[in-house]
Amino acid sequence: MEIKGLFEQIKKKDREIAVIGLGYVGLPLLVSLSKHFKVIGFDINGKKINNLKNGIDENNEFKNLNLSIENCTLTSNVGDLKKANFFIITVPTPIDIYKNPDLSYIEKSTRLVGQNMSSGSIIVYESTVYPGVTEEFCIPILEKESKLKNKKDFFVGYSPERINPGDKKHLIGNIVKVVSAQNEDSLEVISKVYSKIIKAGIFKAKSIKVAEAAKVIENTQRDINVALINELAILFSKLGIDTRDVIDAAKTKWNFLNFKPGLVGGHCIGVDPYYLSFKAKEVNYYPEIINAGRKINDNMGFFIGEQILEALLNNHRKKINFRVVLFGISFKENVADSRNTRVIDIYNYLTRHNLEVSIYDPVVNAGDVRQNYGIELINYEDIEGIDAAIFCVAHDCFKKLDLSELKSKMSSENPFIFDIKWIFKREKVEKIGFRYWRI
């Protein structure tokens, strides 16, 4: 099969690109590609497709979404995929309840592509996986569903996503793009397609497995670094030392890695290490540092909940029924997504100890919170008579809050602010009349 001329056909808009999955990764990719090529944006969620057609991005990453009708087809109709010869799969790769890789989304999307692709196609995977998934798991599905032969009738590639939700600085075009493929010709086509939208440059990995491994260790490394700081924060709390004061002193050295303690949730850092650990066990290696980091970070919400409860009991010895508000439930600041948030660990810990806990978060999708956790969010106007404000997420809107007004909503003269994300300065908070706690 001649694959060399595919890019020129795509460039002339004689062939189309299909982006499968229009979430935090797929939608920015679709928007960028639609400025240069004819593209199909596919998602099985019909409601999402309708919203996108009306310029509405559920994740609030695009305030004024405007996809060209001439260049972009938004659809949940699998038959529309038959128009494409270049497929990019950007579906989620979560973990199951046993913290093993859940490849069901990637399996379903691969089947859809296999059933609708034609000879002469290239399929690129962007979903985060462990080394071997693209070639050992996905290709057999593509061959079975398409009745085509890999490396003869079609080629695959892997180009790990590096989108950072909520980050307005490191946008898709500003991040170096790692690409990989099965041979030089398909690698060249993939590189040329991405080069049109990536200003930061293209890095050609030596193999697909190398590219898969590079992606999964990016988040594993960050997870381990945060775990170290979290463990130090636990230790320093027992020693009566302020962790922020320690870090402020330590970071004056040029090579100190300035990580902060906190909750590690979301779809990447809190998930990807489990993918690597899973693959390691397949080859009879049991990673110690990776697993230890995950254990520390997974338990951080319960440690914070314990500290909050202890502080409240120590300062209100005659009180039993506490009312508190958690500020923020999204997995990350300024992001509308509450899936895989570790704030829920704090909520569950406090409610199990009979505290009355409410959550205020004007950024997230309230319907998703209701559906995923069975929790009704409150409005800021509903806050009154509480004993503590617990800031779990560093939304910009929280940083702008009038703390004097917030204090007027509290039940005691010296109420608590628990500042998990280091949003406020201790001196300012205490001057207003709050008790202040941070990790």
Determine contact, residues 411/433, Cβ cutoff 8 Å.
no
Bridge partners of 145, per DSSP, are none
How distant, in Å, are the alpha carbons of 196, 221, 267, 341, 437 from that of 259? 34, 12, 19, 19, 19
Catalytic residue among 72, 138, 268, 392: 268
Determine contact, residues 67/102, Cβ cutoff 8 Å.
no
Closest CA to 326 of 284, 261, 387: 387
Determine contact, residues 418/390, Cβ cutoff 8 Å.
yes
Q: CB neighbours of 154 closer than 8 A, spacing ≥ 6?
A: 1, 117, 119, 120, 121, 122, 123, 142, 146, 148
Distance, C-alpha 241 to centroid of its chain: 32
Residue 268 falls in the annotated catalytic set: yes
Q: Please state, in angstroms and rounded to a whole number, the distance separating the CA atoms of residues 178 and 198.
A: 11
Closest CA to 415 of 305, 322, 279, 282: 322
Rg (CA), the chain: 24
SS3 13: coil
Structure tokens at 233: 């924060």
SS3 91: coil
Q: Please state, in angstroms and rounded to a whole number, the distance separating the CA atoms of residues 59 and 303.
A: 30
Taken as a whole, the chain contains a residue count of 439
Determine contact, residues 432/408, Cβ cutoff 8 Å.
no
Determine contact, residues 19/88, Cβ cutoff 8 Å.
yes
Query: Which amino acids are annotated catalytic?
Result: 268
